[in-house]
Amino acid sequence: MSEWSVAEPRKLSFDDPVTALHVRIVNGTVNVVGTDEGSARLEVSEIEGPPLLVTQKDGTLTVAYEDLPWKGFLKWLDRKGWRRSAVVSLAVPASTRVEVGVVGATAMVSGLDGQADVKGVTGDTTLVGLAGPVRATTVSGNVEAQAVTGDLRFSSVSGDLTVVEGSGPSVRADSVSGSMIVDLNPGTRPTEVHLSNVSGEIAIRLPHPADAQVEANTASGTVSSAFEDLRVRGQWGAKQITGRLGAGNGKLKATTVSGSIALLRRPPAEDEPWDVEPEGAPPADTDGPTDSTGPTGGPTDGPTDKKVL
């Protein structure tokens, strides 16, 4: 086993193979990026408080505080221990299995093919271009997942979930009061989406044409749907949206107690190249206010989109 104590800004390179990465910090920032290289690199650009312990053993690289275990991580409430901070950046092989734990820090994980497990207490997390299975668990931190093509699991107390251009085989999320905004990217394979909330809002934007069996329920919240093929039932109290879109190969299930549910439709124009314009059309006017945009940066189209996205 190799071991380093990092008490000041430092760079380290690891020649031995790295197949798993474990990171646990309090306050600051963690950046983990997958690369095509076979080796791993670490840079600690800022650090305050106790040193970070860096170990490498049997293919596992660990960057953490000695008094901050992974087990019971979300219940770590040693307030005196919060008086520390570090800015940590890591480049690892794309196939690496990654575990990242942040108490008050922000985390960004990108470019990985292996499994990614992220736990946060109050810090926000951004997940970009992950192809392997992903699990994100937070207390009050928000999670944004962009272009994730693997299975996504999310759980929080009050943290929000935003999925942009999601194209993985499944999205499963549960929260108490955090909002959920899920934008599904057009693709060939059906997607299973299961969202459960107590008081948080749920908004789901489906590609055009959509292909899913839909069931959405709320006990006392409001519902809205941009799809004529779906049935909306209930005027007072419990409300439900049900039906089939396309062949119904995918599955969409959303449940809330008092939160609202909105099913939105991605305008077909968003699938067209930006440079396609009718011949002889005048140039777009870029002076003055512009139309609002959806999560993918495309134009909105009347009732098929909502400002919540």
Residue 140's pLDDT band (boundaries 50, 70, 90)?
very high
Residue 8's pLDDT band (boundaries 50, 70, 90)?
very high
Q: What is the pLDDT of residue 288?
A: 42
How large is the average pLDDT for residues 167-178?
94
- 266 within 8 A of 207, measured Cβ to Cβ: yes
Report d(CA 264, CA 262) in Å as an integer. 6
Find, among 77, 102, 87, the residue nearest to 24 by Cα: 102
Q: pLDDT digit string (tens) for 286-297?
A: 444 444 344 344
- 262 within 8 A of 224, measured Cβ to Cβ: yes
Is pLDDT larger for residue 175 or for residue 83? Answer: 175
Report d(CA 74, CA 139) in Å as an integer. 7
Is pLDDT larger for residue 70 or for residue 88? Answer: 88
How many percent of the chain have pLDDT more than 70? 82
Q: What is the pLDDT of residue 142?
A: 96
What is 6-22 written as a DSSP string? E-SSEEEEE-S---EEE
Whether pLDDT at 72 is above 90: no
Q: pLDDT digit string (tens) for 227-277?
A: 999 999 987 789 999 999 999 999 999 999 999 999 998 876 444 443 444
Q: What is the pLDDT of residue 82?
A: 65
Whether pLDDT at 179 is above 50: yes
| Burial environment of residue 136 by CB neighbours within 10 A (0 to 12, 13 to 18, 19 or more) | buried
Whether pLDDT at 280 is above 50: no
How large is the average pLDDT for residues 52-61?
95
Q: Which residues pair with 119 in a beta bridge?
A: 101, 137
Find, among 39, 44, 36, 49, the residue nearest to 63 by Cα: 44
Report d(CA 202, CA 182) in Å as an integer. 8
Whether pLDDT at 127 is above 90: yes
- 168 within 8 A of 151, measured Cβ to Cβ: yes
How many percent of the chain have pLDDT more than 90? 66
Q: What is the pLDDT of residue 282?
A: 45
Of 70-84, 173-187, 272-286, give the lowest mean pLDDT range. 272-286
Q: pLDDT digit string (tens) for 32-47?
A: 999 998 889 999 999 9
Q: What is the pLDDT of residue 129?
A: 96
Q: Average pLDDT over the chain, rounded to whole?
A: 85
- The pTM of this model reads 0.82
How large is the average pLDDT for residues 296-308?
39
Six token digits for residue 37: 């290289």
Q: What is the DSSP letter of 78?
A: -
Q: Which residue has the tokens 């192809």?
A: 131
Buried b (16+ CB within 10 A) or exposed e, 172-185: bbbbebbbbbbbbb
